[in-house]
Amino acid sequence: MATRIVMEALSPTMEEGRLVEWKKQEGDKVNVGDVLAEVETDKAVMELVARAGGTLLKQLVPAGATVPVSQPVGWIGSPGESVDGAEVGRPGGQEAGKSGGMAARAPRSSADRPTPTPPSIPAPHPPGRVRASPLARRMAAEQGVDLTTVQGSGPEGRIVRRDLRDGMERRAPERGADAGAGYEDIPLTQIRKTIAKRLSQSIGPIPTFYLTCEVDMERAAEAREALNTAAGDPGRISFNDIVLKAVASALRQHPACNAWWQDDRIRLWHEVHLGMAVAVPDGLITPVIRNADQRSLREIASMTRDLAGRARERKLTPEEYTGSTFSVSNLGMFDIEHFTAVINPPEAGILAVGSIVPVPAVVNGQVVARRRMRMTMSCDHRVIDGATGARFLQTLKLMLENPLAMVW
């Protein structure tokens, strides 16, 4: 009646795990969901949790041992229940050679292992047959849930009703998404879950970090003056319009920054809906430029004028200030050179735009005055990593410094 504890695939690419530390000792009482041990995967130190309740009867491997995925590491059962040697030594579902089960090796540092590239979709199950109860299979079929995306909580990872119920709630919006919705839900990988958990513990519920870069706005200014001269007053565009257009275009190339944090998954938006922070007499509101990436600079300019005007008059409809996928806040008109903006959840990023000021810059070996602008992106680290945000800013800078890149 005892249940075998196996090394689980705690990351999508994990082939083996190093059992760092047992959190339960032989003889300890164990409930379903209790952390049995810490396991170092190819990416992080993860928790191996109990899939069955009872007493930890046996630890089959010592702390420090490296064990292939699906190999047994221990037994849970009733107190005093004997787990005979032959049974203990039986290899797991997927045999890894004729090791007789254990295959515990001397600990290695994770450094000598190659770092695999993270796949976009995690695989909660190791390859092979999905373990699921007949009821879970029926429910999954009825609800159109792919069982390979569900993490089972039964013995040896069997998917049971409770897993699917949870999963169902999670998946409900996703099913709507299939029918041409403008986004894609990405289940969280183990590494993302760890990042989310650890960083939230560190700074607030939204672990934010900031990236700042300075942009040379000479060419953008020249282009703006030329366009405004040609178009005259009705079609005037502002620097902010140019920034919005550039942000929308850059987001198109960096969907990872055009995303929502959804607690158990990340929603990558295929559409770009730009929130634009507007100061109103008693606060601030963020009207949304829908599908900003598909609009011309002139359209954006006229929309921002209209939205900002009506925002100040409090005449926006709720649809006009909800649903943004990324936001821009500009305090340049108040002579703020640099600031950080607060993320508007569930969005994963916001760009804070400072004023354009002439500063000495080196151009072709000469110190000259250039109109420069500093912008700072606040990133939700659960969604956006440093390099991800930096690459987005690089693209944005390229577009602002070379306005033609926006239509490139």
* Cα R_g (the chain), whole angstroms: 27
The reply to whether 381 belongs to the active site is: yes
Q: Which residue shows structure tokens 């004729």?
A: 98
Tell the smallest beta-carbon distance from residue 215 to other proteins (Å): 57
Sign of CA dihedral 178, 244, 383, 320: negative
Q: Which 3-state string (H, E, C) describes 185-197?
A: EEECCHHHHHHHH
Nearer to other proteins, 131 or 312 (CB): 131
160 lines the binding site for other proteins (CB under 8 A): yes
Out of 93, 155, 182, 323, point to the residue binding other proteins (CB under 8 A).
Answer: 155
- Measured on CA atoms in the order 401, 405, 406, 407, is the torsion positive or negative? positive
Which residue in 26, 28, 31, 198 binds other proteins (CB under 8 A)?
Answer: 31
Closest CB to other proteins among residues 137, 312: 137
Give 180-242 as a DSSP string.
T-SEEEEEPPHHHHHHHHHHHHHSSSS-EEEEEEEEE-HHHHHHHHHHHHHH-GGG---HHHH
Number of residues that bind other proteins (CB under 8 A): 18
In terms of CB distance, is 138 or 198 closer to other proteins?
A: 138
| Residue list 96-135, contact with other proteins (CB under 8 A) | 133-135
Is 53 an interacting residue with respect to other proteins (CB under 8 A)? yes
CB of 139 to other proteins, least distance (A): 9
Nearest residue (CB) to other proteins, 82 versus 294: 82
Shortest Å, Cβ 135 to other proteins: 4
Q: If DSSP codes are grouped into helix, strand and coil, which group holds residue 357?
A: strand
Q: Is 144 in the site for other proteins (CB under 8 A)?
A: no
How far is Cα 322 from Cα 242, in angstroms, rounded to an integer? Answer: 22
Q: Can residue 252 be called a binding residue for other proteins (CB under 8 A)?
A: no
Question: 354-368: b or e for each residue (b if 16 or more CB lie within 10 Å)?
Answer: bbbeeeeeeeeeeee
Nearer Cβ to other proteins, position 154 or 332?
154
Kindly list the catalytic residues.
Answer: 381
Which residues here bind other proteins, judged by CB under 8 A? Answer: 1, 31-32, 51-53, 78, 133-138, 153-155, 160-161
